[in-house]
Every structure is written in C-alpha cells, then in structure tokens.
Amino acid sequence: MTLANRFRVYWIILQTSMAERFAYRSDFALGTLFRFLPIITQIFLWGAIFGTMDTRSDKKIAGYTYGEFVAYYLMAMLARAFSSMPGLSSGIARDIREGTLKKYLTQPIDMLGYLFWYRVAHKLVYYVVATIPFIIVFYLCRDYFPGWPDPLTIVGVIASLQMAFLMGFLIESLLGLIAFWFLEVSSLLFIYMMLNYFLSGHMIPLDMLPQWVEWLPFKYLAYVPCKMALGKYSHAEMGQELLIEAIWIVALFWMNRWVFARGLRQYGAYGG
C-alpha cells in the first residue's frame, strides 16, 4: 500500500468514526459540563486551605498561590481532554478476549493504526462539542489565571497538549495489549487509573509529591501542560521537557509494536 493510499484509508476511518461519534453529541455536551463539577469542590477546598477566597492573595503553597491552584485544575481538565482515552485499553482487551480482533487480522488493515485514527476522530468530535462549555468555564474563572503567557509558551502549551494525546494513546494501548497474556485486565486498569490520577498531576501538582515521580512519563498527561500554561517553566526548560516527551513517545511506539507482535504469537483467537 502506498503512503497516499494509506492516508486515504485513515481519512475514511476518520470520517466514518466521526459520523458514528456524532450520534452521541448531546451526551457529549452534557457530559463535558458535568465533568467541571468537581472543580467547584477544588475551589472551595483550596480556598479553605489558604484561609481565603481572594484570588489576589500572594500566600503560596509549594510555589502556587490560591489563584494558581484553581487555574492549575482548570488546565488539568483541558490536558485530560487530550490525554484521557476512555475505553481504549478495555476495548483492546475486549477485542482480544472476545475474538473481535480477527477483523484486524483478516482485513488488510493495521489494528493500532485503525484504533489511533478512530481515537483522533473521537477527540475531534469531542472538541467540536466541548469547546463552548470549556470557553464558558474558562471565561467564568478568568480571574484565577495569572494572565496570558508569552507567544512561545503558547506554542509550547499547544505542542504539549498534542503530545499528551499521543502519550495517553500509547500508554493505554500498551496496557490493553497486556490482555494477550492475562485475559482479564479490568482490575489492572483500575489500579492504573488510580495511579494515573496521582502520577499525572491530576489530583495535586507534582511539586507536592516526591521528586522521583517526575522521572515517570505520566506527568506529561496533565502536569507538564498545566505548569507550562501557568508560565512556571523557562523556555529552555520547556524545550527540554518537550524533547524528553518526544523520546518517550518514540519509545512507547516501538514498545507497542513489539508487544503487539509478541501478543499475536500468543493469541489463541479466543471466543469461538
């Protein structure tokens, strides 16, 4: 298959998947709004910890003011909108367990490529639907933000969000592929979800956790884009983080390929 052909196939997958996802658009819009509800808890919680609800208070915890904490959580929501992959691991595991994987093995199409473009479509539709709720919430909370970062940082933030998507996809697909060896991975996925909540910086900024968690790749799923957006990295630090992240992405890509090839050897085509 030539490269042009392959892109045509992926383009059609993208269109088809988008058509499918749009069947659920109202569910999406509502879901997006409700996902902001926990933020309200965070606003009150950190307000209580700081003993103030004043955004302009310059008291700091772990280097963050009260306003920055709230802004951090809002950014974390945005980063998660890129890096979270609901149903990816469990979907791969289900395909393996129930044998629906066969369509990727008998048709001239690559499973990981297919799932990737399906996910891109999924996300694009999500952004179309979720943009307005996001704008509303960010507008309402504009006072918590330290102001617009400089243009280069904005470019960095955008790049880190795109890469967060790639990281999220590769980590979760790798987890899903474990199902080749352990048919039931739901408890494993649950553990991963909990760890991820911590280690990605979704729950609290990673500055408040031991240093070593910054060596793990999970911080790119939320923490790094957030910190960038709050202007807490110098341009040099930003470049360095993005470079390390790119290396992680390449490594995870090859790990996926390798595990997939090994898994297929193991595969018994379960389920009839």
Partner 1 sequence: MSAIEVRNLTKQYRVYQKSEGMWASVKGLFHREYKTVDAVRDVSFTIETGEMVAFLGPNGAGKTTTLKLLSGLIFPTSGTATALGYVPWERAYEYRRRFALVMGQKNQLWWDLPAQESFRLHQEIYGIEESQFRRRMDELVSLLEVSQLIGRPVRELSLGERMRMELIASLLHSPDLLLLDEPTIGLDVVSQRKVQEFLKYYQSEHKITVLLTSHYMKDVEALCTRAVVINQGVIKHDGPLAEIVERFSKDKVIQLQIAGESPSNAELERFGIVLENKAPRIKLKVERTRVPATLSALLERCQIEDISVQDRPLEEVIAEFFTDTSAPGNEPVTTHQTGGRS
Return the number of the residue (1 or 216) whose C-beta is nearest partner 1.
1
Structure tokens at 61: 């915890």
147/272 with CB nearer partner 1: 272
Q: According to the binding rule CB under 8 A, does residue 105 interact with partner 1?
A: yes
* CA of residue 2 relative to chain centroid, distance: 31
CB of 26 to partner 1, least distance (A): 15
Pairwise CA distance, residues 166 & 97, whole Å: 25
Q: Contact 77/36 with Cβ under 8 angstroms?
A: yes
By CB under 8 A, which span of 5-13, 27-35, 187-195, 202-210 interacts with partner 1? 5-13
Nearer to partner 1, 163 or 177 (CB): 177
Which residues contact residue 60 at a Cβ distance below 8 angstroms, ignoring those fewer than 6 apart? Answer: none
Tell me how far apart the alpha carbons of residues 54 and 259 are, in angstroms, rounded to a whole number: 51
Q: Which of residues 21-40 bind partner 1 (CB under 8 A)?
A: 23
Out of 31, 47, 99, 146, name the contact with partner 1 by CB under 8 A.
99
- Regarding 272 and contact with partner 1 (CB under 8 A), the answer is yes
Q: Out of 25, 60, 103, 262, point to the residue binding partner 1 (CB under 8 A).
A: 103
Question: For the chain, what's the residue count?
Answer: 272
Nearer to partner 1, 185 or 252 (CB): 185
100 touching partner 1, by CB under 8 A: yes
Alpha carbons 224 and 65: distance in angstroms, whole number:
18
Rounded CA separation 194/191 (Å): 5
Nearer to partner 1 by C-beta: 9 or 29? Answer: 9
* Binding of partner 1 by 49 (CB under 8 A): no
Q: At what angle do helices 111-140 and 66-83 cross, to 10 degrees?
A: 150
Distances (CA, A) of 213 to 77, 79, 205, 230: 20, 18, 11, 20
Q: Which residues of the chain form contacts with partner 1 (CB under 8 A)?
A: 1, 5, 8-9, 12-13, 16, 19-20, 23, 99-100, 102-103, 105-109, 265, 267-269, 272
